Structure formats: C-alpha cells, structure tokens
Amino acid sequence: MIYLDHAATSWPKPACVHEAMERFMRDVGASAGRSAHRLSLEAERIRFDAREVIGCLLGLNDPMRVIFTPNATTALNMVIHGLLTRENSHVVTTGMEHNAVMRPLRALEQSGVTVSIVPCQSDGMMHATSIEERIKPNTRLIVVNHASNVCGTVLPVRQIGEIARRHGIPLLVDAAQTAGAWPIDMHADHIDLLVFTGHKGLLGPSGTGGLAIHDDFNLDLLPPFIHGGTGSQSEEETQPNLMPDKYEAGTPNSVGLAGLAASVHYLMDYGLEQIVAQEQKLTSRLIDGLDEIDGVHVIGPMELNQRTAVVSFNIESIPCSEVAHHLDQQFDIMCRPGLHCAPRTHRTLGTYPDGTVRFAPGPFVPIEEVDRAIEAVTTLAEQRLNV
Amino acid sequence: MSEFAVILVHTTSEAIFTERILKAAGFDIKLIPTPRHLSSDCGSAVRILMSDKEDCLEALNEAGLVLDRIEPLEI
C-alpha cells in the first residue's frame, strides 16, 4: 500500500510512538494533574515533557504556555471566540483558510463580528501588505493559515507578524500543516498564538493538539474557553487563573500526550531540516511528474521554498472522487479528494465546487512510491482518452 | 529547626517543573502530598533540604518560576 494522505493524518508513526503509548497504558495509566500518587505524578511528568519539547520546537521559553486541547479546531475556537468578545470586533483573515477558522468566524458574524478576507492569488500566494490595508481601529485579531492543507502554499507569516506587532493586534497562526514540517520560531516570526495538531507533521496520535502562547502575550486578554476541573484550586467554583490550568479543564488525553512527547523528541533528534529536505525532494518529483502528464493540471505554487509537501491536481474530465477511488482500488494508493474542509481555499484556487485530488507524502515515503503514484495517474489519464 | 522545607506550588504542572529544575541542578528533593495545614491548593508539593533553601530559590528564580511560598516542614 502507498499512503499519500499525510496532510490528513501521518501514518505509520515512528515505533517510539507506539511504544510510549503502550508503556503508558501498561505501566502508568493514571490521570495527569489529578492525584498525588506516583502514577499520577508520572503521567504529569510525561505531559510536562510534551509541553517542554513542543515549546522548544516552536521557539518558546516557557513550557507552561503550551496548552493541550483535543485537536487544532478546539484551540482555534478557543482563541477566535476568546479574542472577539468585545462589541463591534473586527478580524482580518485570508482566502486560504480551513473551515476550522472560517466556521467559527462565520458563527461570530451572527453576533456582530465583522470579517475581512484578504484575497489571494490563484496559487494561494499573497502579499503581507494586503493584510495591513484591511486593519481598522476595531481590529482585534489577525488569523492566518501558515500553509494550505489543499495545495501547500506557505503564507508570509513573518511579514504578517511584523505588521501585527506594529499595530498591536494579536496574530493567530493555524499551523496544523506546518508544525513539524516547516521551521517555526514564534519569537522571530512575531506569532502571538500558534495552534498545532499532534497527528500530522508532529507524527503523534490523533486526539492531541493545542495552543502555544508567546512568552510576552498578555494572558488577561484571553479568557478560558472550557471551564471545569483542573486538579488545582479545587476550593473555588471559578476557573483558576493559573497556567496552564486556566485553559485545560477536564481530563487530559494522557496516553495521547505520551505518544506526542515521543514523536516530537523523535522529530527533534531526526532534525527538522532533514525532514524539510526529504519532503521537498518528494514534492519536487511529484510536481514535475504530474505536470508532464497530458490532461493533468497541478494546482498551487511550483516553487519548493513556498510550499509544503501537499500537491493537488485534477485529471481533465474525471471527477476527483473517481480518481481517488481508482487509485485506491486499482493501485493501492490512499489519497484524499474533494474540498478538504476548505471551500474558501478552493474558491481562491478556482477549484470550487469540484475540488481536487490531493497527494500528501510524509517525509519517510520512499521516492519509488511517489514514482508509482505518478505512473498510476498517467495510466488513469490515458484511460480517460480511451473511453 | 526543621531538617526539611516544603515548596508550595500552584499546580501539579508547576510541581513537575520545579522537580525538573531542582533535580537537574543536583538537589536532594522529593515530591510529597501538600501538607493540609499549609495549603489546600494542589495535590503535590516539593520537599527540599532546609540547608538548600536559598540555593533552590535562586535556581527557580533563574528559571522564571514564581512560587507560591516555601515553609518549614514539621514532621
């Protein structure tokens, strides 16, 4: 089997991830932060280790500002709802967003929030200055997708961060596609709030994700999103104003975080530069191979330094869902067709409502498998001509 | 005078953070249940040697940890 759906969920995971989760289930098992016995403390040590290594990967100093949530969507909702509570709030976003951003924004429009969407080019690229042009006196948040889950386009986050910093507006970055797959330094990039997921580039299990908060961000601006038990200040019936408990009510996914800690250590040991280099090699082969096929259209930027390893394409006159079905049934290739939960992005790319076929190789996919995928698409494109 | 002091922390995350810093610096420490007469705040506290109190405080300050407080541990 050839698995080219890493932009949805990376798989297989490094063996250390299975081992850490198996060890946790067998030898630890308890709830982090809930009791003082040795198993609970060991669970807390593992969770803290996950905070520390993720903070290190993202260029943060304070591990207590790495907050865990069940997924990136929850963390995005936490910030979007939290920072747009004031009356007459305005937010700037882009034409490359996922529904994890667009749906909370659309929901908030019902209560009076206004949304400016910066249009992007047909390959998803944009100039940071077009963000600045839309800033108003009541702009409370800028939210941008670091890299597209449809076509891999990387947005100019550092330049956007400089603009946000100059205007004193918090910048929220959706790094679901870039954490573990692209260099991130929250200080150098001026990112106030960064949302990550554990199950894609970070190589961890599903059900893990979170929010990383810049060391200088004023926490008073962001209220808790979920209220409930934290294991701290139990005498109080209000949410504690303590980090990280302020944002972490409810039992954590301790076994998931054990897997995530292991996967991020693995990534750090392996080296992000090496990961990026391997992915670029695969992406280059994919783009060049697909682009040569008669009747195949590759979507997104062609330059490797402006994109992640997510390649979208279409075969003329074959619906993308049929292409993906044939790839699965005839060629044993797993990929994702359709709109990828990102209708706004597909509108920008000119592929709405039909969608695209998406190949997303992880860094450890052998290049021979990419070649076999290109051959399979070639065969399907030729079959189209013979129908 | 007590042989031990206890560092009171706000959360278990902070307890583990404190443990991590002090262990790395080579101090003789142990996580213990928070003595009830001192606080009801958190399940765990960090026991240190009273003789290490000032050095521990310095190490934690350097790491940017804001502690609840340090109390003598009466056994």
ipTM of the complex: 0.88
**Active site (catalytic) residues of A:** 341
Beta carbons within 10 angstroms of residue B49's beta carbon:
15
Cα B63 from Cα B65, distance rounded (Å)? 6
- Distance CA(A313)–CA(A217), nearest Å, equals 40
* Architecture label for domain A15-270: 3-Layer(aba) Sandwich (3.40)
CA atoms of A358 and A351, how far apart (whole Å): 12
* A51-107 pLDDT, tens digit each: 999 999 999 999 999 999 999 999 999 999 999 998 899 999 999 999 999 999 999
Q: Residue type for A284, please?
A: S
Structural domain boundaries in chain A: 2-10+271-386, 15-270
Site of tokens 């573990």: A180
Interchain proximity B12–A233, CB inside 8 Å:
no
Termini Cα distance of chain B: 11
CATH at B23? 3.30.70.1530
Rounded-to-integer distance, Cα A287 and Cα B72, Å: 67
Sign of CA dihedral A234, A239, A244, A249: positive
Q: Closest partner residue to B10 among A40, A61, A242, by Cβ? A: A242
Can you give the pLDDT of all 75 residues of chain B as single tens digits? 789 999 999 889 999 999 999 999 999 999 998 888 887 666 889 999 999 999 999 999 998 887 778 888 876
- pLDDT recorded at residue B75: 64
| Closest CB to A48 among B20, B31, B44 | B20
Name which of B11, B16, B41 is nearest A45 (Cβ-Cβ).
Answer: B16
Residue B30 domain boundaries: 4-73
Question: Do residue A36 and residue B43 have CB atoms under 8 angstroms apart?
Answer: yes
Positions in chain A whose pLDDT score sits under 70: 385-387
Closest chain A CA to residue B64: A62
CB contact under 8 A, A233 and B14: no
**Contacting residues of A for B12, CB less than 8 Å apart:** 32-34, 36, 40-41, 44, 231-232
First to last CA, chain A: 27
**Count of structural domains, chain B:** 1
Q: How many CA atoms lie within 13 Å of A137's alpha carbon, on the beta-carbon side?
A: 0
Contacts with A39 from chain B: Cβ below 8 Å: none
Look at the block and give the residue holding tokens 């905070």.
A51
Q: Domain A2-10+271-386 classified CATH 2.40.50.180?
A: no
